[in-house]
Amino acid sequence: MIIVEGLSKSFKVAKRSAGVGQAVRALFHREYDWVEALHEVSFTIAPGEIVGYIGPNGAGKSTTIKVMSGILVPDRGRCTVMDRTPWLERIAHVKNIGVVFGQRTQLWWDVPVIDSLEMLRDIYDVPPKEYRANLKRLTEALELDGIIDTPVRQLSLGQRMRCEIAAALLHGPKLLFLDEPTIGLDAVSKIAVRQFIKTINGEKQVTVILTTHDMNDIEALARRILLIGKGRILYDGNLDEIKHRFTTRKTVTVAFREHPQTVLIPGTTLLSWTAERAAYSVDTLQASVAETIAALSRQLDLVDVTVDAPPVEELMAQLYQEYRI
Ligand SMILES: Nc1ncnc2c1ncn2[C@@H]1O[C@H](COP(=O)(O)OP(=O)(O)OP(=O)(O)O)[C@@H](O)[C@H]1O
């Protein structure tokens, strides 16, 4: 569905120090710097995939999305989305894609949401019957009843984001770019947005490219991740693989009938101990979780066992450190 090959993009940015003197000087003598936002970026994405596009601030994620959606023209490289070059065939291209920039809005601020949706219907030339069916489906799935008649500026962030997603999907695109769709949302709204993304991917096979700093979004939605840092793709693979590679420690917590003396298990570190509860950190390179639980059950009358892996957030921080980004 998407082929990106050797994509590079640099931005020319004006350099200027603070102060009025510098501002006047800059009128006559401007100095520029070049920022390399993308360097030889390559990847392919198949229909129906949900790909988490992650990386630290300023890594080049939004720039890639802007190139793939036809907003930006790269300096070098190839990008085809459903056999079209986005920036050369913009009108045909946008009919196949939906874009949500979490920090921007595509809805008109002062008018009720429904007016924006009708405007988008006309811009995208959506046939009336299809528009009505899509609007009904999206209103139900995103619980927009009672919201779409309200001006955008009066909506809460979570309500607006649901409307943004509806606006991006109104013309039935096959590909959805989501740039930080859950930014600033409360826990309930985040779950609702994730659930909806899962549903449209499952039922309508919409391909989703998701950029986010919320690793719970990635864990909930993406099996594959693309990691970008300083404009370069550093990792393209399975999220489970990363978990496997970086998770060398697990925490086993056990509850047991009263046992006053501590129990030590080789290959583990005792993190805490009370007469009825203990937590062990298991180094999975030295001991397995199953062996640890078996050894504990031989010495203690176990009532409950839980095993925790480090959160994905922590794994990603490790990954960013490993790649020095
Ligand atoms: N229009 C522009 N003009 C100048 N520099 C730009 C422009 N857009 C992006 N950049 C620069 O390109 C680099 C990549 O920016 P980009 O917005 O793609 O990063 P990002 O990964 O989306 O970051 P974030 O997670 O903070 O949104 C940054 O150094 C940024 O300052």
Cα 62 to ligand 1 centroid, rounded to whole Å = 7
Nearest Cα neighbor of 311 from 220, 228, 176 is 220
pLDDT at position 240 is 85
Cα 31 to ligand 1 centroid, rounded to whole Å = 20
CB count in 10 Å sphere of residue 97: 22
Residue type, 191: I
- Return the domain boundaries, the chain: 2-243, 248-308
Greater model confidence, 4 or 266: 4
Per-residue pLDDT, averaged over 218-228, amounts to: 92
pLDDT at position 29 is 77
ipTM value > 0.90: yes
Protein residues with CB under 6 Å of any ligand 1 atom: 11, 13, 35, 37, 55, 57-63
| DSSP letter (8 states) at residue 311 | P
Mutate to test the pocket of ligand 1, among 61, 64, 212 (most ligand atoms within 8 A of CB): 61
Lowest mean pLDDT among 17-31, 73-87, 214-228, 296-310: 17-31
List pLDDT tens digits, range 125-172: 999 999 999 999 999 988 899 899 999 999 998 899 999 999 999 999
Residues pairing with 34 in the sheet: 12
Cα 231 to ligand 1 centroid, rounded to whole Å = 9
Lowest mean pLDDT among 100-104, 168-172, 180-184, 311-315: 311-315
**Residue 248 pLDDT more than 90?**
no
Cα 67 to ligand 1 centroid, rounded to whole Å = 12
pLDDT at position 316 is 81
**Residue 207 pLDDT more than 90?**
yes
Instruction: Give the rounded percent of residues in the chain with a pLDDT score beyond 70.
Output: 100
Task: Output the DSSP codes for 99-165.
Answer: EEETTS--S-TTSBHHHHHHHHHHHTT--HHHHHHHHHHHHHHTT-TTTTTSBGGGS-HHHHHHHHH
List pLDDT tens digits, range 271-325: 999 989 999 999 888 889 999 999 999 999 999 999 988 777 888 888 888 888 7
Domain 2-243 CATH assignment equals 3.40.1170.10: no
pLDDT at position 244 is 79
- Average pLDDT score, the chain: 91
pLDDT at position 216 is 87
**Residue 184 pLDDT more than 90?**
no
Instruction: Give the rounded percent of residues in the chain with a pLDDT score beyond 90.
Output: 68
Number of the ligand 1 atom closest to the C-alpha atom of 64: 18
**Residue 247 pLDDT more than 80?**
no
pLDDT at position 28 is 78
CB count in 10 Å sphere of residue 297: 13
pLDDT at position 135 is 94
Is residue 25 very low, low, confident or very high in pLDDT (cuts 50, 70, 90)?
Answer: confident
Q: Which residues contact 301 (CB under 8 A, 6 or more apart)?
A: 256, 257, 259
Per-residue pLDDT, averaged over 204-226, amounts to: 92
In angstroms, the CA 251 to CA 241 distance is 20
List pLDDT tens digits, range 1-13: 999 999 999 999 8
**Residue 16 pLDDT more than 80?**
no
164 within 8 A of 105, measured Cβ to Cβ: yes
Cα 11 to ligand 1 centroid, rounded to whole Å = 9
Mutate to test the pocket of ligand 1, among 7, 9, 10, 11 (most ligand atoms within 8 A of CB): 11
Cα 141 to ligand 1 centroid, rounded to whole Å = 33
Centroid of chain to Cα 174: 18
CB count in 10 Å sphere of residue 125: 10
Number of the ligand 1 atom closest to the C-alpha atom of 56: 25
Cα 249 to ligand 1 centroid, rounded to whole Å = 35
Per-residue pLDDT, averaged over 244-255, amounts to: 87
Nearest Cα neighbor of 102 from 39, 173, 181 is 181
pTM of the model: 0.83
In angstroms, the CA 269 to CA 286 distance is 11
In angstroms, the CA 236 to CA 224 distance is 7
In angstroms, the CA 157 to CA 99 distance is 17
Crossing angle between the packed helical segments 113-123 and 157-169, to the nearest 10 degrees:
20
Mutate to test the pocket of ligand 1, among 7, 10, 32, 35 (most ligand atoms within 8 A of CB): 35
Domain 248-308 top-level CATH class: alpha beta
Is residue 193 very low, low, confident or very high in pLDDT (cuts 50, 70, 90)?
Answer: confident
